Structure 1
Amino acid sequence: MAMCRYLVADGRHCSEEAGEHELCRWHDPHADHQAPQTAHELEHYIHQGGLCHGLQLARANLAGLNLVKKGAPQGFLLEQCNFYRANLQGAHLYGIRIKGGSLMKADLSDANLHCAELDNVNLLGIRWHNTRLDNLNTGKRLMQERRGRSERDPAQARIWFKEAEETYRDLRKASEAQGIFTMSGRYIQRELTMRRLQLPLWSIQRFTSWIVDLFCGYGEAPMRVVLFSLLLIFICSIFYFFFGLNFQGEYLIYQPGAAFEAFTGSFTLALFVVVFVKKMTR
């Protein structure tokens, strides 16, 4: 019996029976995965310890797929797998770990991605309708953002940033629909950052957007307002320490109450603006 010739760079290999292209059905990009029992067969393959690297499941019918690893601290690890346009409606993917690969335009409607980890995965164009996203971890940066930041060609970099913006927007809308506003706040920051990176490097619009991000994180980081207020007061105090304030040769008396009142007033006003803007944009 011929064995699948799929081999990973670290020495791992697939032990499944090979088909006509010297690859098993799971690693063969030409294999048909439209049968109704495909999801059940994939579950069996993964639960039996099959090689979960480089699975070719583009356009596969995987509705209702159950890859929950019961009793384990971490879920199954899928590396460099291709789920392009795969049907994953109602899939149970609690705690799943996916590194690399693509979920581009996959249908994850009504799926459960609670506590899932999607690291460096192409998430462009996914259908997130009614998808459970509690504690979803998509990494510090999406795949498109990483490529855009490392791209030397400005035109190609803008394409990557545009795709990243669209992906962050979809994630933000999906998390808002689930009522996870902490997560949506993070994604809207990344979305607006990607929009800024598409602007000309030395433009006023880009500089203004950077200032807004620096001081308040596009309205999603109120602690930056507090830190900026403290920094401004500290700088002014240093300035007054060296140059002082005097009237007719007599230095004015320092009153801690006045300084505290000034800080409280400016902070309250800034906090009101931040809270009001966030309330109006929800």
Structure 2
Amino acid sequence: MKKLIQRCQYRDPLGYICQENANKTGLCYWHDHSLDKSGDEVKQALVDYARSGGLTRGISLKNADLSDIDLVNHHHKVGFDFSYADFYHANLLGAHLFNINFNKASLMKADVKNANLNCANLKQSNLLGVKWQDAKIENIQIGKKLSQEVHAQKALKEKNIKQAIDYFEQAEEVYRDLRKHSEQEGIFTLSGNLIQKELTMRRMQMPQYSIKRITSKVVDLFCGYGEDPLRIVGISMLLILFCAILYTFTGLNYQGTFLAYNPGHPLSENINFFLSCLYYSVVTFTTLGYGDFTPIGISRAIAAIEAFTGSFTIALFVVVFVKKMTR
């Protein structure tokens, strides 16, 4: 009677099933987290397994010595898929990992010094404690959120504030380490995005209604922590428009005549006056002050606030723009 061969029972969250033979635990060698894979033979065995079409999703390679391993899927547009895989404390020193898929994998405390991670997919990967020194990370994809951010938001929904803060702290550390490395590599576009995320994670650790958190949020909205000059332009345009609407109702003085919105006047006349207010708002915001229109009454306070805000905003835009362009 033939002995029944048991297949690996691993099934990942997307339904991928391993077809390898199982051991006593019901899992194959690669998906069994209880097996030690720190031996020298693992490196070549992994290469052979990946190139033979084995399911690399969700495999466990804790503490594995994979230094200088070549996991590039040569002559294929799509790299090897190591989604959900566990590379905790793995040695990936000098590894060739171009275009590899580490989606939702764990690279916690992995050593990727001198590794080639160009074009790698690191979306929602656990990158806490990764050693990045001299790693190539051009065109990597880290997605909108780290795995720690996802866990933190889940903890917030469950009202577990302490755990959420811990996850936000971890996310800040990941962004900071990756940002420092991207700056060393001269990838300033990436580092600019990362510093925004880093400071956002720091803000999320502050008490919800504290002055520091509110101030941090305002700075983020206003200029993206100094990394987004277009936000300043957008805020400026909104402020100019808002002040123009206020001037329309509070009125302006034009050559000794008080002008203001009047529902009894023809629509075209009110529209023309609004356009004049828009013009006045622009010259006030930019502190040009031609003098043809002058504020009167409440409009004086509005004009003073707009002029002060405008001079500050223009200076801020110049600083942020030059910072971005000179990188």
Shorter-chain TM-score above 0.5: yes
Unaligned residue ranges in structure 1 (runs of 5+): none
Residue number in structure 1 paired with 2:8: 5
Q: 1:89 aligns with which of 70, 76, 93?
A: 93
Q: Deviation digits for residues 43-88 of structure 1, max 9, x if unmatched?
A: 1101111011221100001111211122322212112111000000
Counterpart-to-counterpart distance in 2, 1:247 and 1:178: 58
What TM-score do the two structures reach when normalised by structure 1?
0.90
Give the residue type in structure 2 aligned to 1:259. Answer: V
Residue number in structure 2 paired with 1:24: 28
Q: 1:263 aligns with which of 260, 283, 286?
A: 286
Q: Secondary structure at the match of 2:138?
A: coil
In the alignment, structure 1 residue 237 sits paired with structure 2 residue 260: no
What TM-score do the two structures reach when normalised by structure 2?
0.78
Residue number in structure 1 paired with 2:266: none
In the alignment, structure 1 residue 37 sits paired with structure 2 residue 41: yes
Work out whether residues 99 and 117 of structure 2, in 8 Å CA contact, stay in contact via their aligned partners in 1. Answer: yes
Give the residue type in structure 1 aligned to 2:106. Answer: S
Aligned pairs (5 A) from 1:105-144: 105-144=109-148
Aligned pairs (5 A) from 1:180-259: 180-246=187-253, 250-251=257-258, 254=276, 256=279, 259=282
Counterpart-to-counterpart distance in 1, 2:281 and 2:62: 66
Q: Deviation digits for residues 214-265 of structure 1, max 9, x if unmatched?
A: 1011101111111111111111111112222127960479595993584387
Counterpart-to-counterpart distance in 2, 1:126 and 1:278: 28
Give the residue type in structure 1 aligned to 2:231. Answer: R
Counterpart-to-counterpart distance in 1, 2:51 and 2:87: 19
**Stretch deviating more after TM superposition (245-254 or 201-210):** 245-254
Counterpart-to-counterpart distance in 2, 1:262 and 1:78: 54
Give the residue type in structure 2 aligned to 1:121. Answer: S
Give the residue type in structure 2 aligned to 1:172. Answer: R
Q: Secondary structure at the match of 2:122?
A: strand
**Stretch deviating more after TM superposition (96-105 or 135-144):** 96-105
Counterpart-to-counterpart distance in 2, 1:263 and 1:36: 68
Counterpart-to-counterpart distance in 2, 1:147 and 1:38: 32
In the alignment, structure 1 residue 169 sits paired with structure 2 residue 176: yes
Work out whether residues 6 and 27 of structure 1, in 8 Å CA contact, stay in contact via their aligned partners in 2. Answer: no
Give the residue type in structure 2 aligned to 1:149. Answer: Q
Residue number in structure 2 paired with 1:74: 78
CA distance 1:268–1:44, shift in 2 (3 Å) = same
Work out whether residues 10 and 31 of structure 2, in 8 Å CA contact, stay in contact via their aligned partners in 1. Answer: no
Root-mean-square deviation (CA), in Å? 2.7
Counterpart-to-counterpart distance in 2, 1:204 and 1:247: 42
Give the residue type in structure 1 aligned to 2:167. Answer: W
Counterpart-to-counterpart distance in 2, 1:11 and 1:225: 46
Residue number in structure 2 paired with 1:148: 152
- What's the CA shift for 1:175? 0.7
Counterpart-to-counterpart distance in 2, 1:24 and 1:258: 71
Counterpart-to-counterpart distance in 1, 2:282 and 2:104: 53
Higher Cα radius of gyration: 2
CA distance 1:149–1:13, shift in 2 (3 Å) = closer
Percent identical pairs in the alignment equals 44
- What's the CA shift for 1:207? 0.4
- What's the CA shift for 1:29? 1.8
Unaligned residue ranges in structure 2 (runs of 5+): 260-272, 288-309
